[in-house]
Amino acid sequence: MPFITILFALDLIITGIVGFVVTGKEHFTALIPSFIGTLLLVLGVLAFNPKLRKHVMHGAAMVAIIGFLATISGGLTDLPKFLSGNMDALPKPAASISKLITNLLMLHFVVICVISFIEVRMARNKA
């Protein structure tokens, strides 16, 4: 799970950097996914320590839940406009795309975390 956390962190860091560059390097809020990714990267590296893994991975899941909830507005709410191809209806298309990517990455990571937590619990109960 630490390796998966690092991969998601790198995805978020890249999303933030690309969003920042695409918006003309004017809006530092475009780097928010990079900040979330950096936090997950640190947690992913710390999770390689078996003594810290349980607590660190729960912390990473919490960061992902907060990230998911924070990006619902402008992320999932703009999804129908993306799917219909109506990009002109979005006030800031680049920001909406970045939020949507961040939102979906966070949701995916939370689902993977929950599945992993269940598998670990079941393996522990078998032993």
User: Between 98 and 45, whose confidence is greater?
Assistant: 45
CA distance linking residue 20 with residue 32, whole number of Å: 9
SS3 105: helix
How confident is the model over 30-61, as pLDDT tens digits? Answer: 899 999 999 999 999 999 999 999 999 999 99
CA distance linking residue 12 with residue 64, whole number of Å: 11
Q: Quick one: CA torsion of 111, 67, 19, 81, rounded to 10 degrees?
A: 70
Percent of the chain with pLDDT over 90: 54
The rounded mean pLDDT for the chain is 88
The answer to whether residue 114 scores a pLDDT higher than 90 is: yes
